[in-house]
Amino acid sequence: MLYARLIVSRLFKAVIVLFMIIIFNFFLIQMAPGDPAAILAGEAGATDAEFLRQLTERFGLDQPLHVQLWRYVSGVAMLDFGFSYRQQVPVLDLILARLPATLLLTGTAFVLSLVLGIVAGSLAAARVKKPSGSLIMALALVFYATPLFWVALMAVVLFSVYLDWLPAYGMYTVGAGLEGFAFALDVGKHLILPATTLALFFMAIYTRMTRASMLEAAQQDFVKTARAKGLKNSVIQRRHILRNALLPIITLAGLQAGQMVGGAILTETVFAWPGIGRLMFEALQQRDYNLLLGIFFFSAALVIVFNIITDLVYRLADPRIKEAS
């Protein structure tokens, strides 16, 4: 019952945010230099006057602004993101075809960064003021400052070109005609480099967060009690400190989801991963604004879904949190 109400209120909020993004997109098109009709047509150089006139009529570009806004909003509400005139396909079809690849990549990177980050962070917390603990934190600091696209390129040089261990481009071997398990294995091999490079930056964040959170939890009275009971240090670290330290990390992980979708744009560009990030890069190069804004809307929607999921997980993990908060 409580969850049902919670989900409804979250969904309501999500709809409002998405609605605001649609309005925002509309004004972005108005802001772009040149004729909005030409922009919607993908600024194709040889666009003929008759085609532009059709577009002007279809989007009511000769009508007052609020009528145009209404047409645009109601269009997007029906999941009509317009047409990519460069690729001659509706924007929605292009995005939906690329979405699974992005979900696979960001999902893998998310789990990878969270697991490795929590492990590294708790090791660092247990070895505070020892060289091994400091080393972990120094590495985290470096990963935190490393440009994502650069580490991806360097990984290509090292692991694909120099060592020839892993494929550098694409999601599967083209023309190999693999099926079933062999195909999954092939995709897995292609996934290793993009997912790992995308995960590094976030791993650094989770490592730092886990360490700080655990050191704080270690100050609490129940830890003293556990020590007084004579429990082993490893048990206290795992069962008492880590469990209590995890909550802020879940919150942070949800907030970082948006950054991960952004990071995917860079990793997918480097590894030619056929997801919406790569699609965004292609849209950029062709100045295909319809497609660009469609992807922007979808990435925001992805973030909102991610946030709702973390919110629910958070409440499952910690029943102390009341709905009011």
CB atoms within 10 A of CB 271: 29
Burial class (CB in 10 A: 0-12, 13-18, 19+), 66: exposed
> Does 171 help bind other proteins (rule: CB under 8 A)?
no
Write each residue from 215 to 254 as x if it is in contact with other proteins (CB under 8 A), else as -, in one continuous string: x---------------------------------------
**Contacting other proteins within 294-313 (CB under 8 A):** 295-296, 299-300, 302-304, 307
- Tell me the closest approach of the beta carbon of residue 107 to other proteins, in angstroms: 16
Burial class (CB in 10 A: 0-12, 13-18, 19+), 319: exposed
Closest CA to 49 of 32, 37, 60: 37
Cα–Cα distance, 202 to 205 (Å, whole number): 5
Cα–Cα distance, 4 to 282 (Å, whole number): 40
How many residues sit close enough to other proteins to count as binding (CB under 8 A)? 50
CB atoms within 10 A of CB 123: 16
Among 258, 308, 312, 314, binds other proteins (CB under 8 A): 258
- Tell me the closest approach of the beta carbon of residue 181 to other proteins, in angstroms: 31
Cβ closest to other proteins, residue 241 vs residue 303: 303
Cα–Cα distance, 143 to 194 (Å, whole number): 15
Among 191, 203, 265, 279, binds other proteins (CB under 8 A): 265
Contact residues for other proteins, defined by CB under 8 A: 17, 20-21, 28-29, 31-33, 141-142, 144-151, 153-154, 156-157, 161, 215, 255, 258-259, 261-263, 265-266, 269-270, 280-281, 284-285, 287, 289, 292-293, 295-296, 299-300, 302-304, 307
